[in-house]
A and B are shown apart, each in its own frame.
Chain A
Amino acid sequence: MSTVATPARGPRRRRKATKLKRRQTRLAWVLLVPSLAVVALVALYPLGKTVFQSFTDEEFLALNPASWVGLENYKDLWNDTIFRDSIWTTLKFTVITVSFEFVLGLTIALIVNSSFKGRGLMRAVMLVPWAIPTVVAAQMWKSMLQSNGVISDAGVRLHILSEPHAWIADPSTALAAVCAVDIWKTTPFVALLLLAGLQVIPRDLYEAAEVDGAKPLQQFWKITLPLLWPAIFVTLIFRTLDALRVFDVFYVFFGNRLGTQSMAIYAQSTIVGDGYVGYGAAISMAIFLVIALFVVIYLTSQRVVMR
């Protein structure tokens, strides 16, 4: 990735560059052409096609060719209450899961970063939820969250619940249920990324701090956290983008149920279920914009914090 960055900064340096450097830059571009072509083919072409489709009335099984409808799809989308609901559902899901995963993941990362007996085993075991395919895990949780499942049963036996509860069926607990599964599954991944960040922090900084008499909490705020920011940002961006695109858990838990659709579920059911490719493309573009907005927010705040 750092090689990608070099030619991008090229123009600024070119004026001062020697002949040799210029030749190297040219070589770099030549060497990059194949990979840029691949990116154009697998990323830009589909994206461009989606943009184009979003201005047409293309349908899956329609026999007459699609025609240009201008902004018609976007006008419909603006008034589409189901899509608006799906945005809210996804945003709530994202905020809840990412914040829980971050706090829990950081705690776990700090724990397994300290040295204790059986640390290696601990690190392996904590990854089990993350290693299970999401669809399989979601099926498991779905049966556990039924009113006759393990969770209600345990709740009643421990007198936490007065009667068995149907976590997924009841609209008031449905979102909490799906968040819980995602948090269970993805916290290890967050912990893993943060752990990698923690291990880069040089030990001698802590030794020096101890000599200066800094308490553990002071060490955390003054050394660990500032040096962990890069890892934290990568983690949060990854998780937020993933959460905004969430599909599999929602699909297993709710299928096509109204009121509990994520944005991706709505796009999928519009395109693949109903066959409205054009309208679905407009939904995809809207999702793209929502996600892009989050990326901009993150990158801006990253620049502010890291300064």
Chain B
Amino acid sequence: MSSTCMKGQTRNPSPRKDVEEVKHASVRLIAGVAGALALVASLVVAAAGTAGNQAQAAAKYPAPKVPNAAAIKSEYGGESITFIGDSVGGSHARDVALAKQFTKDTGIKVKVVPHPAASDASYSQLARVFASKSSSFDVAMIDVVWPGAFAPYLVDLKPKLGKEAKQHAQGIIRNDTIDGKLVAMPWFGDFGILYYRTDLLRKYGYTAPPKTWTQLFAMANKIQTGEQQANDKFYGLVFQGNSYEGLTCDALEWYQSAGAGGFIDNGKVTINNPRGVRILDQFSAQIGKVTPRDVTTYQEGEAHTAFVEGNAAFMRNWPYAYSIGQDPKSSKIVGKFSVTVLPHAAGKSVGTVGGWQLAVNKYSKHVDASIEFVRYMTSAPVQKFNAITNTNVPTIPAVAKDPAVVKANPYLKPEIASVLRVTRPARDLKTHYNEGSKAIYQGINQILNGRPASSVLPSIESKLNRILR
């Protein structure tokens, strides 16, 4: 493309005298540009100053020490590895704190690189590295729906971490075991929960959070009408409505809780069914009514920002948002909210399984040092640390029952923790999961933006059928 630009230029007749004059003019212009750039640079520096706050929250509870550190140090000390870690909320600060501790104890240097916040962008990034057989990273966090697609590019952890794997919830270990190889270790689990404002429910005469979606919409409507008189940015409900992976998770909860199935069931595409149409149209009717109109552009970050700034009565989100809501530095609603299971329609309450695993790149030049890092990061003490400082759901059941962990994570109360967990159709879509999920979230985003569900679902259905064929 650039070669065509050049052609365009050379055909412009430009006598030499003019060129000289242009040079003088451009020197002045370059000076101007430099001035403008300096201005921008100072703006960027000013914005970066606010990032350090969350690191302090983690400081109250120190990162656990690495067991057996001396032996690891003598074997792998001085090696350095790159870790593609988390970026949502305070999670990067958590990664940095743990990596620092690991380096201090073992002498293995860890470079922590946060991944893109949108998980589909993160998938692309990893796929690109694998496809080029690059060793540019050693350890990466991978989503619960990716082991099937990435398995051929990951190190089998069973020989070295098989014993540790037995401590974790076996459902996740099965998810991470592909063709007999343990390609990833569970790091933290996730499931969708409902956040609600206890103070506002009381103010508007409600004694309990909503049980059904219809109740939720009614409550959201009433609270919003009242609150908007003082705060015109206030809305009843926020969730993840953008055209991205998060919407597939949210919509799966709507579907399963309405008895409309899980998009693909027993190898058959079931997304286009009357119950599905009804629940989608029901949600679509709420857009701009009890939700902000642009909830169809919201990802997790926009949703939790609206909620912790006191601009929403209800929010669907993952457990990580709990610690942000409790942090007085970022939240205006400390002590004014609680969590419960998501509402339901014709079915039962459910939560979409999220969660992240740690995996080691097959092309890494430091496989053994990387495995030691994974061993540490997925150990019980670190899971406890993550749960208490960053409200991450432990994947080791013993840690999830620890009283200190339950105290910091109210959603681990038995009645919430026992909610039915539903999984996205990753097993059916296999290496084409991303494409299938894209068909689902793009279509549902169109429905939320005003297209009738009955006109969009057939095209999602045919796309999914084409992938499965």
Contact = CB atoms under 8 A, between A and B. Distances in A.
Q: Does B associate with A?
A: yes
Interface of A: 1-2, 4-5, 39, 43, 59-63, 120, 123-125, 127-128, 130-132, 136, 142, 146-148, 164-166, 168-171, 192, 195-196, 199-200, 230, 233-234, 237-238, 241, 245, 254-259, 269, 272-275, 288, 291-292, 295, 298-299, 302
A254 B10 CA distance: 37
Nearest to A133: B40
Question: Ordered nearest first, which 6 A-B pairs have the shortest CB separation?
Answer: A166-B293, A166-B294, A169-B294, A124-B32, A257-B243, A199-B25
A128 B39 contact: yes
Given A166-B292, A200-B18, A233-B12, 6 more contacts: A148-B233, A164-B293, A196-B25, A199-B25, A237-B5, A288-B1
Question: Which applies to chain B's interface (DSSP): helix, strand, loop or mixed?
Answer: helix
Contacts of A299: 7-8, 11
Interface centre among B4, B12, B33, B297 (most CB of A within 10 A): B297
Given A60-B127, A257-B442, A124 B18 contact: no
Contacts of B292: 146-148, 166
A156 to B, nearest CB: 9
B449 A171 contact: yes
B288 A125 contact: no
Nearest to B436: A274
Contacts of A127: 32-33, 36
A258 B442 contact: yes
B442 A256 contact: yes
Contact of B435 (A43, A132, A255, A273): A273
B5 A238 contact: yes
Nearest to A188: B36
B294 A168 contact: yes
Contacts of B32: 120, 123-124, 127
A165 B294 CA distance: 9
Contacts of A199: 21-22, 25
B422 to A, nearest CB: 23
B118 A275 contact: no
A151 B434 CA distance: 35
A229 B40 CA distance: 33
A230 B14 CA distance: 9
B150 A61 contact: yes
A256 B12 contact: no
Interface string B1-43: 1111111111111100010011001101101110111011000
B173 to A, nearest CB: 23
Given A166-B294, A255-B118, A302 B11 contact: yes
Contacts of B8: 233-234, 237, 295, 298-299
Given A123-B32, A127-B33, A273-B435, A256 B243 contact: yes
B10 A169 contact: no
6 contacts: A2-B10, A132-B40, A166-B297, A257-B442, A258-B446, A292-B4
B interface, size bucket: 35 or more
A254 B243 contact: yes
Interface string B67-97: 0000000000000000000000000000000
Contacts of B118: 255
Nearest to A42: B2
B103 interface: no
Contacts of A288: 1
Contacts of B33: 124, 127, 131
Nearest to A169: B294
A124 B244 contact: no
B202 interface: no
A128 B36 contact: yes
B124 A273 contact: yes
Contacts of A123: 28-29, 32
Interface string B197-215: 0000000000000000000
A131 B9 contact: no
Nearest to B241: A169
Given A233-B8, A254-B243, A196 B293 contact: no
A230 B243 contact: no
Contacts of A62: 431
A128 B40 contact: yes
A200 B25 CA distance: 8
Given A128-B36, A170-B293, A234 B438 contact: no
B237 to A, nearest CB: 14
Contacts of A273: 120, 123-124, 434-435, 438
A299 B4 CA distance: 10
Given A61-B150, A272-B124, A147 B243 contact: no
B128 interface: yes
A245 B118 CA distance: 23
A192 B40 contact: no
A200 B9 contact: no
Contact of B6 (A1, A124, A170, A230): A1
Contacts of A234: 8-9, 12
A197 to B, nearest CB: 8
Contacts of B445: 257-258
B242 interface: yes
Contacts of B51: none
A258 B450 CA distance: 13
